Amino acid sequence: MKPQFPAVQGGGSLILAWQVRNRHVLVIGGGEVAAGRILAVLNADAKVTLISPSTNLNPEVRHRIASGAVTYIDREFQPSDLDPSLPTPPTNDTSSPSPAQPVDMVLCAIDSPTASTEIYKLCHRLRIPANIADVPPECDFYFGSVHRDGPLQIMVSTNGNGPKMAALVRRRIAGSLPGNTGAAIRKVGELRRRLRGVAPGNGGEVGAKRMRWMSKVCESWSLEDLCDMVEEDMDLLLAYYKDGMVPSLEQIRLKEEPGVYTFDGSFGWM
Catalytic residues, by residue number, are 134
Sheet of 24-28, strands arranged across? 71-73, 47-51, 24-28, 105-108, 130-132
How many DSSP H helices and E strands does the chain contain?
A: 9, 7
On whether the CB atoms of residues 145 and 183 are closer than 8 A, the answer is: no
Host H or E run for residue 130: strand 130-132
For residue 139, the SS3 value is strand
Please state, in angstroms and rounded to a whole number, the distance separating the CA atoms of residues 150 and 185: 8
Q: Count of CB atoms within 10 A of residue 99's CB? A: 18
> H helices within 26-158, ranges in order?
32-43, 59-66, 113-126
How far apart are the C-alpha atoms of 6 and 228, rounded to whole Å?
39
Would you say the C-alpha torsion 71, 76, 79, 85 has a positive or negative sign?
Answer: negative
